[in-house]
Amino acid sequence: MASSMLSLASASASASASASLSLQENLKGKVKLGSVHFASCLPGKTNSIIKANHFGRISMSVALNASRFEGIAMAPPDPILGVSEAFRADTDEKKLNLGVGAYRTEELHPYVLKVVKKAEQLMLERGENKEYLPIEGLAAFNKATAELLLGADNPVIKESRIATVQGLSGTGSLRLAAALIERYFPGSKVLISSPTWGNHKNIFNDAGVPWSEYRYYDPKTVGLDFEGMIADIKAAPDGSFILLHGCAHNPTGIDPTPEQWEKIADVIHEKNHVAFFDVAYQGFASGSLDEDASSVRLFAARGMELIVAQSYSKNLGLYAERIGAINVVCSSAEAASRVKSQLKRLARPMYSNPPVHGARVVANVVGDPALFGEWKAEMEMMAGRIKNVRQKLYDSLMAKDKSGKDWSFILKQIGMFSFTGLNKAQSDNMTDKWHVYMTKDGRISLAGLSLAKCEYLADAIMDSYHNVS
Amino acid sequence: MNKACSGQISARVVSERKEMNCGIHGVSFSSSATPSERRLSALARHLISPSESCSCSASGVSASITSSDVGSVFSHVARAPEDPILGVTVAYNKDSSPVKLNLGVGAYRTEEGKPLVLNVVRKAEQQLVNNRSRVKEYLPIVGLAEFNKLSAKLIFGVDSPCIRDNRVTTVQCLSGTGSLRVGGEFLTRHYHQRIIYIPVPTWGNHPKVFTLAGLSVKSYRYYDPITRGLDFKGLLEDLDSAPSGAIVLLHACAHNPTGVDPSIQQWEQIRQMIRSKGLLPFFDSAYQGFASGNLDKDAQSVRMFVADGGECIVAQSFAKNMGLYGERVGALSIVCKTADVAGKVESQLKLVIRPMYSNPPIHGASIVAAILRDRTLYDEWTIELKAMADRIISMRHQLFNALRDRDTPGDWSHIIKQIGMFTFTGLNVRQVSFMTREYHIYMTADGRISMAGLSSSTVSHLADAIHAAVTHVA
């Protein structure tokens, strides 16, 4: 072993690419991570890697020949984001990307909202500085986002009973809340819907928060398993955190009705659970900001304490700017103030303070009545396009499918996504045969569908559903 | 009552938990109390008189329960203390004196005392806004590819062997803090040694970042208060006694808060020590170009650890050198032995990032990429960067001269020997308090001043204050 290490050392001395390759090949399978120390095999050996201009000393310290990270496995690609990577690699001209939930125009181009461009232009003209934001983020943004969520006249806001901290879009806001739960409610569980957004479980796992699922999607009806949902929430230990999608459930597109929301609130109240909302589509689902916030407002109106994560990725098209917020509605202003201070204490060792750009865009759009009005119009347009596409897809399916299958769930579902009911093998067929990219759970993003492609997609779905099991 | 107070309490939330664990009249419970039990205790606390309240409530940080807290699941959440560094600015803002001076802030200020947005940054931003084909689609988890490549070239050098051999992975992160945190989390999961050694003193956020990342934090001697320089002997001794494989945090240049950097010869000895002990170097590079005014010079320490063929980790921040503080732009680079390992490491970094914030913010990274890729903008940047560094060096000399002119007792040469934004004055807490009270000078209690907050017109006021503090306060 020692002699092969010596030869490796001299091989690595010439820092050419081919030497590295042979070094790599030699190392494969031979070297264990960490515990073996090779420097001791080479006492007093001049390391020719260190160039002469480093004082020409004989160096006792040779860099380890084995990587400390050799034993690390290649991680699998992200199930959602990996879909776009695969799509990009596909050269077939018929290919269709229905993977990631990012809005596309009818021409299937990404869309930057006009109000966003206007706001950015204004910001540039104003020549604002780039100083650090406070740990909790931009004050004007925090105020605007809480008011958007609950309504400016909401007693929660008037009584200052809400702790709002700017977060890194939905993910970052959820993570802060998870860290708060881990620290202040150790052992408490979060209940997530079955199914739910694929990253939810990762967030709670990494934050060290235990989780379990409540029944949600009923494949038989392609609708909500309401009784299962209520039963599972009831069965959870008192004081659990129940993760709810404020509107436009991801991935199913199936939302509870207002009456069902009331019942969900009842059982949460009864069990002293804490409702934890993920609001990623306010305004984007129905086209109306207020309507899409009605579930959250219903709970707040009951005087319940809540956690609400918000994202502006979709409704303001600010995906890459990472702008969102974590809100904690408390029973007193004093509690809200304390909770906010602890959220800050969690954010500081994660990234110190949040990015300013997206926050300023939101604050400018919401703060200017003209821009705010234009934003609402653009949101209605985006939501409207998706509703139109749903209709066309439904019509295409009903025209083509003579089996009598009811495809109306496509019209009943809401938001960017549709849960087609296709299983993994059928989803694979969609990709492999038809070059339609989607996630393996059968979810398609209607935001990535154009009216022009509805027929093609209908053919693909029909083939996969009827001919593949 | 005290029986319950000694119950199982998670070490992390001891101060907050203590309050909740106080048993009252038989209502005792452990840290796994249900919400209804917590509410019951909150209610119960209202019913007992103050003299009967639990003697073990945490000092200073426990919440005072008001009647409006009845029924809050958050009643046990204590108020966190204000961040010590940010608290300086809070106090400064409250002061109405016309001669007040804020030397706490770690952000560059102009001669006029104003924040600065670099001209190249404004130009790059204008380009971005004017670009009609610009989109705001999610970046990949690892961030903007071009930014990553250019950042690596900046810190390692354009013809660095690790870049040529494709054995460095660089991922965009949220400035320095985010890069350190992601790096720390990665090490906790995939590295066999969980101990990280940090210098004494170091940036206040370092221990918290690494602790929350899951590492165990130990320290190595660094600053010598007698010489106001490097305790090199202590440093080497402490690294020598570190367990094999331990991680060592190194400030690439312009050590924060002391401004004391090893000489190039000392760096070489540090490198040899680290390599011979098989320690893993983790660089925090927050001031490249900002310290000496020269980008290559300020990266020398890092490049030494790449030249020897070994592995290392580097957290880069563009907050100071590009003035992009609030945009949160940074990068984490992990230099590996082989391209194959680098690929695997990168895939695992994605698993750390995705559940933290999914993917990084685009704006700041786009600005950096625009500047680094364009020869003209890059050259303009180096000029503006040098101007900032030069102004700070000039303030150092002006302050040193002013103290010399006043015959202020003591050796103040460390002011011009130290490098970067900060000077560790050597003033003690009483002297610092005195300066705040009598001269309205705001600085952190450890005697650290930000030279970036000084200007030619305010140097004499500071010199007066130091002179008075040193001659009147022990």
User: Do A319 and B86 count as a contact with CB atoms less than 8 A apart?
Assistant: no
Q: Nearest by CB to B79, from A74, A333, A338: name it.
A: A338
CB distance B349 to B191 below 8 Å: no
CA distance B226 to chain A (A): 30
Q: Residue B342 is inside which H or E element, if any?
A: helix B339-357
Q: What is the pLDDT of residue B17?
A: 39
Q: Record the tokens describing residue A244, joined without a space.
A: 């709810």
Lowest mean pLDDT among A128-132, A359-363, A401-405, B1-5: B1-5
Q: Residue B332 is inside which H or E element, if any?
A: strand B329-335
* Higher-scoring residue by pLDDT: A187, B15: A187
Mean pLDDT, chain A, integer? 88
Q: What is the mean pLDDT of residues A303-322?
A: 97
Q: What is the pLDDT of residue B165?
A: 96
Q: Is B320 among the residues known to form the active site?
A: yes
CA distance A190 to A236: 9
> Which chain B residues are closer than 8 Å to A124 by Cβ?
122, 125-126, 129
pLDDT in tens, chain B (474 residues): 333 333 333 334 333 433 333 333 333 333 445 555 555 554 444 444 334 333 333 333 334 444 444 578 898 999 998 877 777 888 898 999 999 999 997 899 999 989 999 999 999 999 999 998 999 999 999 999 999 999 999 999 999 999 999 999 999 999 999 999 999 999 999 999 999 999 999 999 999 999 999 999 999 999 999 988 999 999 999 999 999 999 999 999 999 999 999 999 999 999 999 999 999 999 999 999 999 999 999 999 999 999 999 999 999 999 999 999 999 999 999 999 999 999 999 999 999 999 999 999 999 999 999 999 999 999 999 999 999 999 999 999 999 999 999 999 999 999 999 999 999 999 999 999 999 999 999 999 999 999 999 999 999 999 999 999 999 998
Q: Which CATH architecture has domain B138-373?
A: 3-Layer(aba) Sandwich (3.40)
- Give me the active site residues of A, please: 197, 278, 314
Closest CA to B386 of B298, B300, B450, B304: B298
Asked if B274 reaches chain A (Cβ–Cβ under 8 Å), the answer is yes
CA distance A67 to B293: 34
Q: What is the pLDDT of residue B65?
A: 42
DSSP one-letter string for A256-282? --HHHHHHHHHHHHHTT-EEEEEES-T
CA distance A340 to chain B (A): 9
* Higher-scoring residue by pLDDT: B46, A209: A209
Q: B interface mutation test: which of A104, A105, A121, A132 has the most B CBs within 10 A?
A: A132
> Which chain A residues are closer than 8 Å to B129 by Cβ?
117, 120-121, 124
CA distance B159 to chain A (A): 12
The nearest alpha carbon in chain A to B341 belongs to A70
Asked if B158 reaches chain A (Cβ–Cβ under 8 Å), the answer is no
Predicted ipTM > 0.90: no
SS3 B410: coil
| pLDDT over threshold 70, residue A421 | yes
User: Do A110 and B136 count as a contact with CB atoms less than 8 A apart?
Assistant: yes
Between helix B362-373 and helix B375-405 the angle, nearest 10°, is 100
Q: Nearest by CB to B205, from A78, A322, A348: name it.
A: A348
Q: Long-range contacts of range A190-194, CB-CB < 8 Å, 24 or more positions apart?
A: A190/A240, A190/A241, A190/A242, A190/A243, A190/A276, A191/A232, A191/A233, A191/A236, A191/A240, A191/A241, A191/A242, A191/A243, A192/A243, A193/A217, A193/A229, A193/A243, A193/A244, A193/A245, A193/A249
CB distance B51 to B30 below 8 Å: no
User: Do B326 and A132 count as a contact with CB atoms less than 8 A apart?
Assistant: yes
Q: Where are the beta strands (DSSP E) in B185-328?
A: 195-200, 216-221, 223-224, 229-230, 247-251, 280-285, 312-317
Q: What is the pLDDT of residue B60?
A: 34
Q: Record the tokens describing residue A13, joined without a space.
A: 């001395």
The residues, any chain, with a CB within 8 Å of residue B244's CB and separated by 6 or more, are A37, B193, B277, B278, B279
Q: Is B203 among the residues known to form the active site?
A: yes
Q: How confident is the model at residue A15 (pLDDT cuts 50, 70, 90)?
A: very low
SS3 A40: helix
Where does residue A216 rank: exposed (0-12), middle (13-18), buried (19+ CB within 10 A)?
A: buried
* Higher-scoring residue by pLDDT: A78, B176: B176
Q: Record the tokens describing residue A278, joined without a space.
A: 């993920």
CB atoms within 10 A of CB A235: 12
User: Do B136 and A63 count as a contact with CB atoms less than 8 A apart?
Assistant: no
The DSSP bridge pattern shows strands B223-224 and B229-230 to be antiparallel
| pLDDT over threshold 70, residue A58 | no
* Higher-scoring residue by pLDDT: A21, A227: A227
Q: What is the pLDDT of residue B36?
A: 52
Where are chain B's structural domains?
3-70, 86-117+387-472, 138-373
Considering only residues 333 to 372 of chain B, which have any Cβ-Cβ distance to chain A shorter than 8 Å? 334, 336-341, 343-345, 347-348, 350-352, 354-364
CA distance A255 to B265: 66
Annotated catalytic residue: which of B18, B203, B238, B381? B203
CB atoms within 10 A of CB B472: 10
Closest CA to A276 of A225, A341, A333, A211: A211
Asked if B140 reaches chain A (Cβ–Cβ under 8 Å), the answer is yes
SS3 A49: coil
Q: How confident is the model at residue A62 (pLDDT cuts 50, 70, 90)?
A: very low
Q: Where are the beta strands (DSSP E) in B158-306?
A: 168-174, 195-200, 216-221, 223-224, 229-230, 247-251, 280-285
Closest CA to A286 of A110, A413, A116: A413
Residue B84: what residue type? P
Q: Is B412 among the residues known to form the active site?
A: no
Q: Nearest by CB to B308, from A49, A187, A335: name it.
A: A49
Asked if B122 reaches chain A (Cβ–Cβ under 8 Å), the answer is yes
Q: What is the pLDDT of residue B111?
A: 95
Q: Record the tokens describing residue B107, joined without a space.
A: 């952000």
Closest CA to B354 of A200, A279, A150: A200
Q: Nearest by CB to B80, from A313, A333, A345: name it.
A: A345
Q: What are phi and psi of A42, to 5 degrees?
A: -130, 60
User: Do A341 and B80 count as a contact with CB atoms less than 8 A apart?
Assistant: yes
The DSSP bridge pattern shows strands B168-174 and B195-200 to be unpaired
CB atoms within 10 A of CB B320: 25
The DSSP bridge pattern shows strands B247-251 and B195-200 to be parallel
The pLDDT > 90 percentage for chain A reads 79
User: Do A199 and B354 count as a contact with CB atoms less than 8 A apart?
Assistant: yes
The pLDDT > 70 percentage for chain A reads 86
CA distance A216 to chain B (A): 23
3.90.245.10, 3.90.1150.10, 3.40.50.261, 3.80.30.20: CATH of B86-117+387-472: 3.90.1150.10
| pLDDT over threshold 90, residue A82 | no
Q: Record the tokens describing residue A241, joined without a space.
A: 């955190």
